[in-house]
Structure 1
Amino acid sequence: MAADPLAWWRRRSLRLRLTATASAVLAVALGAAAWLLVGVLGRALTDSTDEIAHQRAREVAALADDGRLYDPVAVSDGTIIQVLDAQGRITHVTPGADRLVPLVNARARGRTPRNGGGLFVDGDPYGIPGPLRVVVVRADDGRTVIAARSFKDVADSLTTTVHMLVVGTPMLLVLLGAASWVIIGRTLRPITELRRGAAEITGTARAHRLPVPEARDEVQELATTLNDMLARLEAAETSQRALISDAAHELRSPLASIRLQLEVALGHPPDEQEWRETAEGVLEDTLRLSRLAEGLLTLARLDEHRRPARRHPVDLAELIGATADRYDQAVVKIMGLEPAVVEGDAMDLGRVLVNLLDNAVRHAAARVGVELRASGGEAVVTVTDDGPGIPEADRERVFNRFTRLDSARSSNDGGAGLGLAIVRETVRAHGGSVGLADAGPGVRAVVRLPLPRPVPGHAKP
């Protein structure tokens, strides 16, 4: 298998990759800026030289047209002037200029730009060091004025500029790269602190939190989010530990009872022991263990999936009627049933009703009422008993696992305290909510489940 050419790059540190990328971009930008600077500067200096030479040539042409041109031609700024007649012979020059050979031959003069632009001419054959910038202007009577200016100073300036850029640009790039290394390092320092803080958090140091930087940036948001996650994990672990402890406590009682009954039975002679009574006691404790195991498995499944595994239309009115028929009709009364169909698992929702009705019947003085209403896009199931009630401070706590209140509502047949916990988790898995309210006397359990939204364009049959 061919090696990935980018594997080495991906294995480098984030700081190195960011610095190298930033330096590469800076190098391209500085190189382009230097090239543009030299080009613009050279063009500007060339145009300035052409403008001066063209201006002097026009002045000389004007003097020639007026007949006021004298030889030698007097020009004070060092511009070299040659005036040619119609036959191409030199008639007037500035002091020191060549009187025999024109700076531009006839063919080159014909190619001279008409917009005032100039030509480069080598000055060495004329005893002038460096290149010359030459312009040609036409005058009356077929005369031609040639104006030239030395380009050596401009060329030297451009060369100096290029040398400075060649030396200065790498130095500036190194300086900017070093600054980028430092700045990126300082920017990534909070992430390093987060990594160190995460490395210090172990299974026995659950209360630790990651350091939150002072800057209000994305790293602070990340640290805050991670700390919130740690808090949730800590709460979940605490809840799990409490669940294990409570489950062990609940399992200990029936197991101890079974062991005691069996030890007592075995400690008596067979003919003196009531084995049927012992078997009934053991069976009762076994059923208690079975209910506890079933409740724990149900909670484990709800914690794992968070949503019902099977979702089908469930007619709540039909489900409530079938569930209420299992109880004494003199105790459980259906107060009203409005049509309501929700999406969910009929078995799980039936367990919710059974748990609420069992709890209500267990603590009711004489009557339990069940009602179903549909309003505001929700199906509202209400189960009301006329028992001793629950203090307002405990109405939220009773939904915790293995929570049982005082003897007024938690006799020995009250279960392990998982019923309301299963109710809440099941209702939440169906996207609803459950709460308790005062019924004066008694307690009112209110379950709210969302009704399916109607599909646009589909009318009810």
Structure 2
Amino acid sequence: MTAWSRMSVRGRLTLTVTVASAVALLALSWLMLFWLRGALVSEVARRNDVALDAYVDFARKEPKSVTQLILAQNSEAVTLPVRLLTPLGVGPSDTLAAVAFEPYPTPGMVVPESGRDPLVLALQGRELPREVDRSEFVTKSKRVPTEQGILIVQVATSLSDVNRSVAVVRLALWVVVPSLLVAVGMGSWVMTRRSLEPVADLRRRVGDITSRTLDERLPVPPTDDEVAHLAVTMNAMLDRLEASSKRERQFVSDAGHELRSPVAAIRAQVETALAYPDTADWSSVGVTVLAQGERLDRLVGDLFTLARLEEGAFGPVPDTEVDLDELVLEQVGHLKGRRLDLSGLSAARVHGDAGQLASVVRNLVENAGRHASETVRVSVGTEGDYARMVVEDDGPGIPAEQRDMVFERFGRLEEARSRDRGGAGLGLPLAGRIVARHGGTLELDDSELGGARFEVRLPLAQPEPE
């Protein structure tokens, strides 16, 4: 388990918001400094260009005067005050300007490879250094050809004010950004705690609900947010748990009755026979004991099969061909006291477990026989790639709002049902799970006979290629 997963939801949210805010603020701060310096440097460059154009205009108008001034300035015998060029100082006070003179070589003379440096005259401020630091100055130069040589006018404007302004803003950001991050972190922690308080309250209330207090419900906040939706969902879950618990308790009662009834019948028959051994009909006692034993065996077998189906313990469906119509003919023989309609019976072959599919047919037919008034109709046929079996009765039917219940484990419609008329609530859930295991569907609808109509659809067995 990582440190991240060990943190609380509030801690993870606070850390995520703080880190995201830090990244965003740092990026915005860098962009702001970049934009601010760019804007200030652009303004300095504009002023530098204005000063350069002014000096270039003067050099073009008075090239001889400028050349003489440069030669005089660099002569050891003559000292020319720079103030004579004060009228040229058109640049700002933080601007340095100079003009250099490169004379043309005399015709026929060979210029040495290491020619001497050009003569330089400072027009404004001090003389420019040979290498100007680009981070400290904005520089630009232009060449002006004359009769005697080339005048190179260069202007440099200091970026000291720009650098100071950017440094002040950077220092302010170093103070403001951490303060904002602290405020964001604290605000996120507080807001997350307040937002999760209803969830914590729901958790405490759910923790207090036990199997004996499933009738309790969680309070739903008046807000239409995720917490309210969670409370509604959990209340719906509690409704299902309560209903399931009631059905299980009912099943325990019914199953106990179902198990006790055959045991009681066996015990009564045997005790009576033992009390009057000379007059007892031991053959009848044996028949009764065998019948009740079969009933017990079937009930226990259904419970065991249903549990294994829900656990998926049967594995893949066998690739055995089963004649569905023959299964129907075998199982309907157990139906007594009802008129049986098999006019819609035709051949249909599927792959599967013959024993489980026989259990499906038996449960559906017996369920129809218990609730039919007179007639039970069973039909088998094919429809496309599916085999189709329909079991119908002319009984009272099943209301639409209760149809899902009959396929639930332990589900029965009546609150109290007699042994002869009601089962343990396992037949239809067992049939539904067996059909689902075989890749089919079991659906419930109204029958034209007036009762319930159960339709089973299973994939047809495909003929093997010759």
Decide: shared fold, TM above 0.5: yes
C-alpha separation in 2, matches of 1:336 and 1:219: 55
Cα pair 1:403 1:417 within 8 Å, conserved: yes
Alignment match of 2:129 (pick from 94, 104, 107): 104
Cα pair 1:71 1:92 within 8 Å, conserved: no
1:71 and 2:85 are equivalent in the alignment: yes
1:203 counterpart SS class: coil
Tell me the residue number matched to 1:12. 7
Alignment match of 1:182 (pick from 187, 190, 202): 190
C-alpha separation in 2, matches of 1:198 and 1:90: 90
Which runs of structure 2 are paired with 1:59-138 in the superposition (5 Å)? 59-67=54-62, 71-72=85-86, 73-75=88-90, 77-78=92-93, 79-86=95-102, 88-89=118-119, 93-94=123-124, 97-98=125-126, 102-105=127-130, 108=131, 119-120=132-133, 133-138=138-143
Cα pair 1:427 1:447 within 8 Å, conserved: no
TM-align CA RMSD:
4.4
Deviation at 1:168, TM superposition (A): 1.2
Tell me the residue number matched to 2:383. 375
C-alpha separation in 1, matches of 2:373 and 2:96: 125
C-alpha separation in 2, matches of 1:254 and 1:317: 33
1:104 counterpart SS class: coil
1:390 and 2:395 are equivalent in the alignment: yes
Paired AA for residue 379 in structure 1: A
Which runs of structure 2 are paired with 1:271-310 in the superposition (5 Å)? 271=278, 275-305=282-312, 310=317
Deviation at 1:81, TM superposition (A): 3.5
Tell me the residue number matched to 1:433. 442
Q: Deviations over 1:269-322 (max 9, x none)?
A: x54655555455444443443343334334444454499863434332343345
Deviation at 1:338, TM superposition (A): 3.5
Q: Deviations over 1:213-263 (max 9, x none)?
A: 666666666555544444333333222211111011223333333334444
Paired AA for residue 63 in structure 1: F
Paired AA for residue 36 in structure 2: L
Deviation at 1:170, TM superposition (A): 0.9
Deviates more, 1:412-421 or 1:136-145: 412-421
Q: Deviations over 1:71-111 (max 9, x none)?
A: 322426324444444475566734xx34xxx2234xx4xxx
Which runs of structure 2 are paired with 1:249-398 in the superposition (5 Å)? 249-267=257-275, 270-271=277-278, 275-305=282-312, 310-312=317-319, 313-323=321-331, 334-357=342-365, 370-375=378-383, 378-383=386-391, 389-392=394-397
Deviation at 1:342, TM superposition (A): 3.3
Paired AA for residue 239 in structure 2: A
Please, which runs of 5 or more residues in structure 2 have no aligned partner?
A: 67-83, 104-117
Deviation at 1:62, TM superposition (A): 0.5
Specify whether residues 450 and 223 from structure 1 end up closer, same or farther in structure 2 by C-alpha distance, changes over 3 A only: farther
2:133 counterpart SS class: strand
Cα pair 1:404 1:410 within 8 Å, conserved: no
C-alpha separation in 1, matches of 2:56 and 2:372: 124
Percent of aligned pairs with the same residue? Answer: 34
Deviation at 1:450, TM superposition (A): 3.5
The TM-score with structure 1 as length reference comes to 0.72
Deviation at 1:172, TM superposition (A): 1.6
C-alpha separation in 2, matches of 1:404 and 1:14: 45
1:44 and 2:39 are equivalent in the alignment: yes
Cα pair 2:397 2:451 within 8 Å, conserved: no
Deviates more, 1:24-33 or 1:358-367: 358-367
Paired AA for residue 120 in structure 1: D
Cα pair 2:364 2:454 within 8 Å, conserved: no
Cα pair 2:143 2:153 within 8 Å, conserved: yes
Deviation at 1:187, TM superposition (A): 4.4
C-alpha separation in 1, matches of 2:174 and 2:304: 76
Cα pair 2:48 2:91 within 8 Å, conserved: no
Deviates more, 1:64-73 or 1:415-424: 415-424
Cα pair 1:214 1:220 within 8 Å, conserved: yes
Cα pair 1:433 1:447 within 8 Å, conserved: yes
Cα pair 2:48 2:155 within 8 Å, conserved: yes
Tell me the residue number matched to 1:203. 211
2:343 counterpart SS class: strand
